Structure formats: structure tokens, C-alpha cells
Amino acid sequence: MKVVVIGAGNVATHLAKALYAANVQVTQVWSHHNENAKTLAAELNAKAIANLSEIDLAADICLVAIKDDAIVEIANQLKDFKGLIAHTSGAVNLNVFECQFENYGVFYPLQTFSKSKEVDFKVIPLCLEANNKSSLDKLKELASKLSRNIVEINSEKRKILHLAAVFACNFTNHLYELADEILKANQLDFDILRPLIAETAEKVQTAFPLDVQTGPAIRNDEQTLIKHQQLLLKQPQLLDIYKTLSDSIKKTK
């Protein structure tokens, strides 16, 4: 199975390396930034191509792992490709490919990727969708080389999943960041929060978050809620977030 990777960002890099580690042949890498393509290709014994017209038309699968907004434009440039094309986005519909391709799909790894951090692909849910059975089977074959956690999901539900992931991951990381800001402004080190952050995530690996909610809002501890808001009086944005989320917690009871 020969795979071409379009993109050299976080998702493309982690995915391409995981494929390489699983003995899947990645033959070419293209990126909007040719230098990034070269860097990634070098790690895969692949070829960095500078123009999409150089794409290997005989490759089995073309994985498009780029910014959502750019997928349509890149797809238009790839329309001579006769293999199976799949994007890796949580938010983009399968039918983005329907006008240009016969065999197309989605290969969405539900995970947060940063270049600096290795991830264990074996547990990552790989969310698959395709326009026909043979394409879906091909994506499943590829996915099974990387993960034990394969999920068939249509575009509508994938968008919901992506939205939920924004709450559970992107917003969560931002709350870590706000906590760090609060600490830094008071000469306290983020290190002191790390065990708490780890435990908060670990708890919900077996429990449901509703059953393990703690803190002043769920306890209706009004004195503490007021004290916290007083500490944030000079940071209206943090105060707004504090109020919004505390009110939301109170409503879950």
C-alpha cells in the first residue's frame, strides 16, 4: 500500500510517522511550505514534492492533512489522482471530494497533536467514512495498522464529535493556560497544578464527569465564589469566564 501525504503540520507529521513506523510506505510528501515537506519526507525515506502536479498517480491513498479552509482548493489541484483520497478533518464534510473524485473518504484521528510530543496511536480513535464500500475497506485496512480503536462515523456525527472535542480538549487546555496566567501573575509555578490536572483527566477515564464534579460551584459555596470573583475584579475577561462556567456548573445539578 503506497500512501502520499499532503501537509506537514501537526496531524500530517504524527500520522505520516505512525504510518512509517507501521511499515506503510509513504512515498511522497507535499506541503505549502516546501521546507517542511522536506523535513518530514527525510524522516520517512519519502520524496518531498514541490508541486502537486508531481503527485504519484499510482499511489493507493492520498491523505490530505491540511487546514480545513484549504481542502477544497487542494482537492481541485489533485483531480487527476485516481486512487482513494481522504482528508483528516473533524469538521469538513465527506462530500468536499464528490465533484473531483470517484473514491474518497475521511480518516479523522480524534486526538490533539503537537510536534513536540509523541503519541500512542494504538489508542487513538480513528474515525472513518467513505463514499463506497471498497474505499471504506481500504481505509479500515490502513487504520488497523495504526490503532485498535476504529470508529465508522458519518459526516454529521463527526462534526458533533469534533465540536465535543473542542470542549474537552481545546477549551480545557485554554483553562490550563488561564490557570497558568493567574499563577504567573502571583509568582507561583505551574508545576504545582500538574498533579491536579493529571488526576482530573484520569478520574473521567472510568467515571462520568457529572459524577465527579467538585469545587465551590457544585457545592453552592457562595462565600468562596464571591471571594474568587473579588480576586478577578481587575481581569474582566477571566471574571466573565469564571461567572459563565460557575453558573453553568450550578445548572447541571
Considering only residues 110 through 129, tell me which ones interact with its own copies, judged by CB under 8 A: 110-114, 116-117, 119, 123-125
> Does residue 236 interact with its own copies by CB under 8 A?
no
**Which position among 167, 234, 236, 253 is part of the footprint of its own copies (CB under 8 A)?**
167
> Does residue 33 interact with its own copies by CB under 8 A?
no
Q: Of 54 and 177, which CB lies nearer to its own copies in the complex structure?
A: 177
> How would you classify residue 38: left for phi > 0, otherwise alpha for psi between -120 and 50, otherwise beta?
alpha
> Does residue 150 interact with its own copies by CB under 8 A?
no
- Phi, psi (deg, nearest 5) at residue 86: -140, 140
Considering only residues 190 through 229, tell me which ones interact with its own copies, judged by CB under 8 A: 190, 192-219, 221-224, 227-228
Region binding its own copies by CB under 8 A among candidate stretches 18-26, 38-46, 97-105, 154-162: 154-162
**Which position among 38, 39, 151, 155 is part of the footprint of its own copies (CB under 8 A)?**
151
In 3D space, the residue among 197, 182, 171, 186 whose CA is nearest the CA of residue 239 turns out to be 182
- Per-residue burial over 177-199, b if 16 or more Cβ lie within 10 Å, else e, is eeeeeeeeeeeeeeeebeeeeee
**What are the Cα distances from residue 49, in Å, to 42, 82, 129?**
12, 18, 27
* Residue-level length of the chain: 253
Task: Build a one-symbol-per-residue string for 3-22: x at contacts with its own copies by CB under 8 A, - elsewhere.
Answer: -------x------------
Considering only residues 39 through 98, tell me which ones interact with its own copies, judged by CB under 8 A: 67-69, 91
